């Protein structure tokens, strides 16, 4: 049965002990490991402030002091999000974190990076201020030039706000969840050369 | 508006190096990232003494 | 093979020393710390919010520019009138070698700059006598005559640097009055609503407004003043002194260098948007597939930054 196969695969690859461990390998002992969770936490603040902005409507933050503050929370958490994500990427690259069949972890992480840029871009388009006007005016040329503009119309506010608030966060959320679950399932990559003794040399 | 909102809404200052230019703010962000990366690599991580809390 | 054995060992569940780890506490701590930091920056600095530009603002602040742009819309010489797909068929648009991808996708967002930007909005208001007559004259003429009038006036206006008072007498038909009518309409504030609604009640598509606004110099000048132009790294910048989009540095980079920074260069400069999209698409794919790229995937082994990450482990294990 499909459900049996799914359950058995789930229990084999991601038992609860791996999903919610209370130990970690002793080599996970560097500040560089903090940037993944920092990225996620920033995403949490982005989503929280974004939900508040969405609830109040697209123009609320222009004329409400609370609105301006929540918009500021959304703005600065995006800045943190990208800072932490890129430092996390640098760390994972120099650790060659794709080793030990963790290629998909890298791939989902890199896709999440690209999807984040796309999501942020639609956010910039829906500010309903001068910046949005300019960005949509300029960006249309890029997308039109490769034919994407026919479907993805950056000057269509209605389309952009629905993409930013519904479609893209869902896509990004799914990619992020898969990425994090992959880290849990595979475990944190061991150090390069960790098994040199077992393997008997330094190759 | 932010306590320093008026200051932040003034015209940005740019660093020009030939055909390259960057706002001071963006420069601070990028340099900050490099500093964060460097510090993360060199700063000692707490609770990382040999054998402490370690289980085999 | 040792290579496969190493992969097996690196894949297997870690059997070495462990340390206690509270995943949930770490996540909560991170969330609290970052929320506090973000709240602090928000309190200190706020966020950028430069007011939107309206047609009223444009027409009041730069009436000559608005007037000249209106004439260009009627003459079909404006940027949007000559754009091509997805708005019209006036040009083939940019291309990647033999591929005109925008043209291939067709006119999916039709924009008629003469009627959408000028004539239709004018019909939505009660015009003064002269403008109403000008509108009647225009609407009862054939398109060839309309085009002749508008092109004549556009050329004449260009010759006198957009100073309408200096244009010599000529065969311009109702064009000067139409432009004047639209200017008055914009200055009164009703063009904004007319352009957005396009006769509808619900409307959420700003395409026509954006195209018309961008055809003038006023909008572009505001952007230049905020250093947002693409050829001065503007894609990375934000209004005011706020941090911009540093993550777009590489996308912005290509617009600064030859051949892409020269619109007269063929084929790359003239089609820079398309070529740069292609380059960035390829580089993004490269980032996603980086562990598969020889040379790049071996950099962590050649430049052992990882020795800093795992320095304690290496010391304890004598590696």
pLDDT tens per residue across span C87-105: 999 999 999 999 999 999 9
Tokens 């289980």 map to which residue? B55
Instruction: Read off the pLDDT of residues A37-69 as tens digits, 9 standing for 90 and up.
Output: 999 999 999 999 999 999 999 999 999 999 999
C10: burial class by Cβ within 10 Å (0-12, 13-18, 19+)?
buried
Provide, rounded to the nearest whole percent, the portion of chain C with pLDDT above 70. Answer: 99
Q: What is the pLDDT of residue B50?
A: 45
- The phi and psi torsions of B38 (rounded to 5 degrees) equal -60, -45
The predicted-structure confidence for A130-139, as pLDDT tens digits, reads as follows: 999 999 999 9
Q: Which two tokens stand for residue C153?
A: 């006036």
Contacts of B4 in chain C (CB under 8 A): 44-46
Q: Predicted confidence band at A141 (pLDDT cuts at 50, 70, 90)?
A: very high
Which of A53, A77, A95 terminates a domain? The answer is A95
C40: nearest CA partner in chain A? A73
Answer yes or no: do C246 and B8 touch at CB < 8 A: no
pLDDT tier, C1 (very low <50, low <70, confident <90, very high otherwise): low
A144 contacts C210? CB cut-off 8 A: no
Q: How far is B18 from chain A (nearest CA, A)?
A: 24
Cβ within 8 Å, pair A31-B45: yes
Cα–Cα distance, C192 to C56 (Å, whole number): 7
Which long-range CB contacts under 8 A does A52-57 form with residues at least 24 apart? A54/A165
DSSP B22: E
In a domain, A15, yes or no: no
Map tokens 């960006």 to a residue: A139
A17 near C CB under 8 A: no
Asked if pLDDT for residue C271 goes beyond 80, the answer is: yes
pLDDT at position C16 over 50 = yes
**Residues spanned by the domain of A158:** 104-189
Best mutation target among C45, C206, C308 (most A Cβ atoms within 10 Å) is C206
Q: Kindly determine whether residue C242 and residue B3, on different chains, have CB atoms separated by under 8 Å.
A: no
> What confidence score (pLDDT) does residue C29 get?
98
For residues C205-210, give the mean pLDDT: 96
- Domain range annotation of chain B: 5-36
Could you tell me how far CA C156 lies from the centroid of its own chain?
A: 31
What rounded mean pLDDT belongs to chain C?
95
| Binding partners of A (≥3 Cβ pairs within 8 A) | B, C
| Axis-axis angle for helices C63-75, C175-188 (nearest 10) | 130
Q: How far is B42 from chain C (nearest CA, A)?
A: 7
d(CA C110, CA C274): 21
DSSP string covering A147-201, please? TGGGTS-TT-HHHHHHIIIIIHHHHHHHHHHHHHHHHHHH-SPPPTTTTHHHHTS
Question: Which residue in the set C37, C101, C226 is minimally distant from A146, CB to CB?
Answer: C101
What is the pLDDT averaged over residues C265-291? 96
Q: Which tens digits make up the pLDDT trace of A148-200?
A: 999 999 999 999 999 999 999 999 999 999 999 999 999 999 999 999 888 88
Strand-pairing partners, residue C20, are A23
- Counting the structural domains of chain A, the total is 2
Q: Is B22's pLDDT higher than 70?
A: yes
Q: Shortest CA distance to C180 belongs to which of C142, C211, C146, C153?
A: C153
Please check the confidence at residue C219 and state whether its pLDDT lies above 70.
Answer: yes
Contacts with A36 from chain C: Cβ below 8 Å: none
Note whether A87 contacts C: Cβ–Cβ < 8 A.
no
Q: What is the mean pLDDT of residues A120-137?
A: 98
Interface test with B, best of C26, C243, C304, C307 (most B CBs within 10 A): C243
* CB nearest to C19's CB, from A23, A132, A157: A23
User: For residue B51, what pLDDT is reported?
Assistant: 43
Report the alpha-carbon distance of residue C7 to residue C154 in Å, rounded: 71
Chains that contact C by 3+ CB pairs under 8 Å?
Answer: A, B
Of residues C140 and B51, more confidently modeled: C140
At B53 the pLDDT is 44
Mean pLDDT of all residues in C78-83: 96
Inter-chain CB proximity A91 and B39 less than 8 Å: no
Q: Which of C17, C45, C244 sits opposite B4 (nearest CB)?
A: C45
Write the DSSP symbol of residue C269: T
Domain end marker among A47, A70, A95: A95
Interior angle at CA C9, CA C7 and CA C10, nearest 5: 65
Give the CA distances from residue C99 to residues A161, A198, B46, C89, C278, in Å, rounded to whole numbers and listed in that order: 31, 55, 58, 16, 12
8 Å CB contact between A161 and A58: yes
Q: SS3 for A34-58, per residue?
A: HHHHHHHHHHHHHHHHHHHHHHHCC
> Is B13–C241 a contact, with Cβ atoms under 8 angstroms apart?
yes
Does some domain include residue A166? yes
Q: Is residue A55 part of a domain?
A: yes
CB contact (8 A) between residue C319 and residue A197: yes
Q: Around Cβ C40, how many Cβ atoms within 10 Å?
A: 11
Token duo for residue A28: 């996970």
Q: Which residues in C lie closer than 8 A to residue B53 (C-beta atoms)?
A: 19-20
**Surface of B (2-41) touching C: CB under 8 A:** 2-5, 7-14, 19-26, 28-30, 41
Separation of CA A42 from chain center: 10
Is residue A9 domain-resident? no
What sign does the dihedral B37-C29-A113-A119 (CA atoms) show? negative
Provide the residue count of chain A.
203
Residue C18 has φ and ψ, to the nearest 5°, of -125, 170
> How do residues A2-22 score in pLDDT, each as one tens digit?
999 999 999 999 999 999 999
Question: Model confidence over A96-107: pLDDT tens digits?
Answer: 999 999 999 999
Domain end (from A76, A95, A114): A95
Q: How far apart (Å, rounded) are the C-alpha atoms in residues C199 and C191? A: 12
In C, minimum Cα distance to A61 occurs at: C49
Helix axes A130-145, C207-215, angle to 10 degrees: 90
Instruction: Delimit the domains of chain C by residue range.
Output: 55-225
Mean pLDDT of C116-127: 93
Rounded to whole angstroms, the Cα distance separating A106 from A112 reads: 10
Confidence of residue C127 (pLDDT cuts 50, 70, 90): confident
d(CA A49, CA A64): 15
Contacts of B55 in chain A (CB under 8 A): 23
In Å, the largest CA–CA distance within chain C is 94
CA dist., res. A180 & res. A29, Å (int): 19
**Under a CB-based contact definition with an 8 Å cutoff, are residues A89 and B40 in contact?**
no
Both ends of chain C: CA-CA distance in Å? 22
Q: Which of A69, A128, A147 to mutate to test the interface with C (most CBs of C within 10 A)?
A: A147
- The b-or-e profile of C95-132 (16+ CB within 10 A means b, else e) is bbeeebbbbebeeebebbbbebbbbbbbebbebeeebb
pLDDT number for residue C238? 97
Residue C317 DSSP one-character state? T
């Amino acid at each position: 049965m499909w459900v049996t196969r799914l359950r058995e695969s789930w229990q084999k690859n991601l038992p609860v002990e791996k999903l919610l461990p209370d130990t970690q390998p002793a080599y996970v002992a560097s500040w560089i490991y903090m940037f993944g969770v920092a990225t996620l936490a920033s995403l949490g603040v982005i989503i929280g402030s974004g939900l508040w902005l969405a609830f109040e409507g697209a123009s609320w933050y222009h004329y409400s002091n609370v609105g301006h503050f929540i918009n500021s929370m959304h703005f600065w958490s995006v800045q943190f999000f990208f800072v932490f994500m890129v430092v996390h990427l640098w760390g994972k690259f120099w650790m060659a974190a794709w080793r030990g069949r963790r290629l998909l972890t890298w791939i989902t992480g890199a896709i999440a990076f690209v999807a984040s840029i796309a999501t942020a871009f639609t956010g910039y388009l829906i500010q309903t201020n001068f910046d949005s006007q300019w960005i949509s005016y300029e960006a249309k040329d890029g997308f039109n030039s490769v034919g994407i503009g026919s479907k993805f119309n950056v000057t269509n506010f209605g389309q952009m706000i629905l993409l930013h608030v519904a479609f893209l966060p869902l896509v990004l959320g799914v990619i992020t969840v898969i990425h994090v679950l992959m880290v849990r399932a595979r475990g944190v990559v061991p150090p390069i050369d960790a098994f040199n003794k077992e393997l008997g040399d330094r190759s | 508006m932010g306590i320093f909102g008026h200051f932040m809404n003034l015209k940005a200052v740019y660093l020009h190096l030939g055909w390259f230019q960057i706002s001071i703010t963006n420069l601070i962000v990028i340099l900050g990232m490099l500093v964060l990366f460097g510090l993360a690599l060199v700063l000692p991580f707490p609770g990382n003494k040999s054998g402490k809390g370690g289980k085999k | 093979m040792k290579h496969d054995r190493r992969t097996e060992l690196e894949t297997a569940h870690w059997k070495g020393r462990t340390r206690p780890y509270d995943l949930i506490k770490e996540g909560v701590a991170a969330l609290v710390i970052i929320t506090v930091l973000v709240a602090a920056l928000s309190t200190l600095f706020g966020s950028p919010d430069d007011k939107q530009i309206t047609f009223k603002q444009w027409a009041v602040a730069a009436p000559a520019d608005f007037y000249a742009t209106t004439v260009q819309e009627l003459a079909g010489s404006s940027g949007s009138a000559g754009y091509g797909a997805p708005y019209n068929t006036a040009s083939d648009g940019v291309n990647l070698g033999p591929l005109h991808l925008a043209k291939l996708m067709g006119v999916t967002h039709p924009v008629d700059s003469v009627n959408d930007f000028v004539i239709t909005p004018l019909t939505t208001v009660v015009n003064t006598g002269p403008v109403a007559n000008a509108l009647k004259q225009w609407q009862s003429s054939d398109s060839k005559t309309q085009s002749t009038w508008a092109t004549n006036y556009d050329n004449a206006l260009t010759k006198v640097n957009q100073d309408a008072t200096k244009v010599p007498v000529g065969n311009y038909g109702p064009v000067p009055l139409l432009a004047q009518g639209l200017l008055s309409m914009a200055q009164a504030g009703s063009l904004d609503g007319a352009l957005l609604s396009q006769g509808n009640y619900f409307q959420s598509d700003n395409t026509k407004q954006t195209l018309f606004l961008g055809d003038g110099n006023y909008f572009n000048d505001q952007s230049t003043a905020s250093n947002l132009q693409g050829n001065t790294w503007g894609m990375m910048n934000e209004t005011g002194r706020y941090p911009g989009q540093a993550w777009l540095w590489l996308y912005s980079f290509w617009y600064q260098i030859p051949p892409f920074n020269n619109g007269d260069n063929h084929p790359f400069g003239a089609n820079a948007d398309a070529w740069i999209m292609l380059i960035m698409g390829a580089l993004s794919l490269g980032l996603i597939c980086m562990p598969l790229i020889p040379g790049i995937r071996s950099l962590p082994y050649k430049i052992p930054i990882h020795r800093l990450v795992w320095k304690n482990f290496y010391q304890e294990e004598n590696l």
